[in-house]
Amino acid sequence: MEIRFNRDGLVPVIAQDFDTKEVLMLAYADEEALKRTIKTKKAHYYSRSRKKLWMKGEESGNVQEVVEVRVDCDGDAVLYIVRQHGNACHTGNYTCFFRRLEGD
């Protein structure tokens, strides 16, 4: 399956917990991030704000051990199925999806 990167050379990546199936976060990857993820079995992403490749947990220690990498039917989104070590969210929450749209 070919990955369809956007005009910036990125593809959205959803990280999902292997055990709980909970959605942990959404980030972006470029081709190099995907290659490193597959090679090292550690989640790599591309930071749009810092304009550089990064490994999840390189500063926080909250590493994502990648069990499987999947691509959606259109090839324009990727799923990392991970064993999350520590919290996924920079806020300290386990998942980035801890707020309800109603404002909770």
DSSP string for residues in 69-102: EEE-TTSS-EEEEEEE-S-SSTTS-SSS----TT
Task: Determine whether domain 11-84 maps to CATH 3.20.20.70.
Answer: no
- What pTM was computed for the model? 0.93
Nearest to 97 by CA among 10, 6, 21, 5: 21
pLDDT (tens digit, 9 = 90+) per residue, 13-58?
999 999 999 999 999 999 999 999 999 999 999 999 999 999 999 9
Q: Measured between alpha carbons, how far is 75 from 84 in angstroms, rounded to an integer?
A: 25
- What are the extents of the domains in the chain? 11-84
pLDDT at 102 over 90: no
pLDDT of residue 103 exceeding 70:
no
